[in-house]
Amino acid sequence: MRRIGAAVAVLVLAGATLGTAASTAGAATAEGSRAAAACPTGWGSGAKGGAAIGADHLEDIRTGRHECYDRIVFDVPGGGDRISYHAHYVDRFEADPSGEHIPVAGGAILEIRVGAWSYDLEAGAPTYPGQVGKPLPGVNISGYSTFRDTRFGGTFEGQTQVAVGVRARLPFRVVQLDDRVVVDVAHSWTS
């Protein structure tokens, strides 16, 4: 009788071990699926734009690092969800309207235009301290996975122009939110 009880106990322990291993493997597979789903790559690298009427003044440009992408945010307080934008990859970055070539480091150049002035004409003062051809003030992209450089192109006819040097021509998305435009550039095509 003891032998039967011992055999049953061994079988129960073996079954519990196998069940734990199976559930751990299932959890790992599910977790891997969640991780893959958390890094979408279907954004594409084609031009993206959103038209809207009038916006206020650009007050800040900031960046952030995320697990799947690097982000640049254009803050336009009072702009609501009517801030226009246009983003596309270019071979050369040229300031508008002068056509002055502005070198940008990286494997590809993403030009972004946001429908907001960086200068208050009535007050006669800048609302954003960017200088044409210079890196974006207060933006430090060292250690970023995708971003390599930033350059300010200036403001012309209510459009502020910026270039982001990226590691390569990678998928990106643009999201228009209340009082800001957000541009995310993926770390890769496949992650």
pLDDT tens for 70-107 read 999 999 998 877 789 999 999 999 998 899 999 999 99
Confidence (pLDDT) at 81:
76
Q: Residue 39: name the closest of 145, 142, 111, 141 by CA.
A: 145
Confidence (pLDDT) at 53:
62
- The residue among 20 and 57 whose pLDDT is bigger is 57
pLDDT tens-digit readout, 144-158: 999 999 999 999 988
Burial 22-33 (b: 16+ CB within 10 A, else e): eeeeeeeeeeee
Residue 12 has pLDDT above 50, yes or no: no
Q: Token digits for 76?
A: 């336009």
Name the band, by pLDDT with cuts 50, 70 and 90, for residue 38. Answer: low
In words, the CATH class of domain 48-186 is: mainly beta
Contact between residue 68 and residue 164 where contact means Cβ atoms under 8 Å apart: no
Q: Mean per-residue pLDDT for 31-58?
A: 73
Residue 26 has pLDDT above 60, yes or no: no
Q: Mean per-residue pLDDT for 14-32?
A: 40
d(CA 171, CA 173): 7
